[in-house]
Amino acid sequence: GLDHTGLFRISGSVNKIRALKHKYDQGEKVDLITDGDIDSVASLLKLFLKELPVAVFPDSTHANLLKTFEDNKNHMAECTRCLKRLLSNLPQAHYILFHFLSTFLLKVASHSDMNHMTLENLAIVFGPTLFQ
């Protein structure tokens, strides 16, 4: 679905999303290719992130990330160093999820000529769920 126009912007079927979520919640095996469609699977990912009990970037990290950007907007090397330090201090599960998502979303953005999801568009879609 990397070339799917509207990826993450077009909502999937509410019934399909509900059925997929129910299967996951019950511990059943889910075949996303057979049981879902691109928009429903993309919506399911966003729903998963939204329903996490603690955001990928917890409140304590959120404030520090914003401060780092504000304090270093003209010093990219220092900003990068501070961001790496902050991200390495995330709880392990959060860091692993962030690493996976960032790798995946960079791959999505690399197909923006087809799916129209630039890094900016992805930030608009995922920012609220990553920071809650």
Series of mean pLDDT values for 10-residue runs along the chain (132 residues) = 93 94 93 91 95 90 86 86 90 94 96 96 93 82
CATH homologous superfamily of 14-131 equals Rho GTPase activation protein (1.10.555.10)
Give the count of alpha carbons within 13 A of 97, CB side only. Answer: 17
Torsion sign (Cα): 75, 83, 80, 47: negative
Q: Is 28 helix (H, G, I), strand (E, B) or coil?
A: coil
Q: Angle of helix 38-50 relative to helix 14-25, nearest 10 degrees?
A: 60
Q: Give pLDDT, residue 40.
A: 95
Q: Give pLDDT, residue 66.
A: 85
Q: Give pLDDT, residue 48.
A: 94
Torsion sign (Cα): 116, 47, 39, 4: positive
Q: Give pLDDT, residue 8.
A: 95
Domain ranges of the chain: 14-131
pTM: 0.86
Q: Which helix (H) or strand (E) holds 16?
A: helix 14-25
Q: Give pLDDT, residue 65.
A: 86
